[in-house]
Amino acid sequence: MGVFTQADQALEWRGGQEIVRIEPWGPGSLRVRGTVWETIRDDLPGALIPREAGPAAPAAIEIGAGSARITNGGLTAEITASGRLRFLRPSGEELLAEMTPHFTGPPTRRYKSAAGGMHQFEVRFEARDRERFYGLGQHQHGRLDQKGAVVELIQRNTEVSIPFLVSSRGYGFLWNHPGIGRVELGTTATRWVSEATRQWDYWITAADEPAALISAYGEVAGRAPMLPEWASGFWQCKLRYKTQDELLSVAREYKRRGLPLSVIVIDYFHWTRQGDWQFDPAEWPDPAAMVAELDELGVKLMVSIWPTVNPASENFAEMADLGLLVTNEHGLGVQLASWDRGSAVRVPMSFYDATSSRARDYIWSKVRDNYFSCGIKTWWLDACEPELVPEQPENLRYHIGPGLEVGNAYPMLHARGFYEGMQAEGEQEIVLLCRSAWAGSQRYGALVWSGDIDSTFEDLRRQIPAGLNIGLSGIPWWTTDIGGFKNGDINSPSFRELVVRWFQFGVCARCS
């Protein structure tokens, strides 16, 4: 049997080698952490704003002989002497409870030794037959209610992992692990799994309405800044504008025809090399003049920025020497083979390490000098999962830890670098079009779009629950490629109708 103690506003339980800490973290909310090491750590990466920066939340703690409770507003956590956790409303109604382990089987909270002094960890909660689950980011399974689904917690093109869900039973739950894992929302159990972690960490809140749950989540993970009015208009992009003259001719034609146009986008290969983060002067000879003309037309210019670095880039050697690139645990430091300007074959690309503040400052300095200085203030952070082929997160080493432990945080920290860079330049209207996100990305102005989806009616249908669920994950700004991204046939009557229907969906989504 375990031992209960109170430390300031926290309730702690120790049993054998395990320690569990439960503490208030925002109104009506609790943070729960545990480990089999000696102490709970406060320095590990996650989505929650440090408590000293958030609102104070007094808690009531009761310690008895066989159990202990901590109550914060409308949420109570109870832990038994054996260490089993459950969460209740003040009325006593049970919201969520760990499963009672089989008397001959492993415990509900399972630790399995992993490399680097970490553990693979999983916890199982009791399942409720009529419970419904929403959120968890953006996924292409086509389900709004995700009860019964197995959702991988990993970033991929079109799959955005945000481990926050809203339950129909009146609670919100954040799995505060930036590493790789999964959640199984089964009919006999709900199981959360982290492939590698030093300690487990989740946050739970209770409220009567979904909006209140999401608001409470915003209190502890951050709220999105206000969307600028111009950003709610029509954005125009194609694969791809190849020259400054081509882009300006299209913008002028929109103006001549009286068609509304808020943003026009310069896609990839406008650069000299991936990792140079600059225009090719042969095709974009005067970016400042281009921006000035677009401003007169009432059009914002957005530029695609990739996190990849070509070994032939003028910045590669310096970044490698300064330790600003994602490295590998084994083998060569290569994460993606990709085409680039002037290459006849795919080139082995590295990624800059967005988990390093020095690396974020470095890339922003290049973007500031080569784009922002020309008047460009809107950024498309494409391929920011990052997109890895083959997918081997266990082989990656980031500044803040191994890939299995921290890899999902990459898109959030990538957005942070641009958001803070813009703020340092005095900018307030910051919009970052991102292909991926993690918990907390909203506080850095991330506007997510659903990635490289197919041009089919089936994919259009799947975007509706995908967009609703990412909105329920704390990301209020979301969109799609109208007509989808790939495999559309402009000569097909079905595809032409699809584009019309997708335009209708886009307009309705913005009106809502």
Eight-class DSSP state of 325: B
Give catalytic status of residue 353 as yes or no.
no
Give catalytic status of residue 385 as yes or no.
yes
> Which residue of the set 382, 387, 405, 481 is catalytic?
382
Give catalytic status of residue 340 as yes or no.
no
> Which residue of the set 219, 385, 387, 481 is catalytic?
385
> Which residue of the set 126, 267, 452, 454 is catalytic?
452
Question: Which H or E element spans position 87?
Answer: strand 85-88
| DSSP codes of every residue in 326-347 | -EESSS-S--EEE--TT-SS-E
Name the token pair of 440. 């907390």
- Sequence-distant (6+) residues with CB within 8 A of 273 are 310, 312, 313, 314, 340, 341, 342
3 state DSSP class of 206: strand
CA distance 381 to 403: 21
Q: Are 394 and 329 in contact (CB under 8 A)?
A: yes
Q: Angle of helix 244-257 relative to helix 287-296, nearest 10 degrees?
A: 10
* Phi, psi at 152, each rounded to 5°: -75, 135
CA distance 389 to 135: 27
Q: Are 45 and 406 in contact (CB under 8 A)?
A: yes
3 state DSSP class of 409: helix
CA distance 286 to 84: 65
CA distance 60 to 73: 9
Eight-class DSSP state of 117: G
Torsion of CA 325, 328, 331, 333, to 10 degrees: -10
Q: Which residue has the tokens 């953006």?
A: 138
Whether omega before 107 lies within 30 degrees of 0, making that bond cis, reads: no
CA distance 236 to 506: 13
Eight-class DSSP state of 358: H
What is the per-residue burial (b if ≥16 Cβ within 10 Å, else e) of 325-343? bbbeeeeeeebbebebbee
Q: Which residues are catalytic?
A: 382, 385, 452
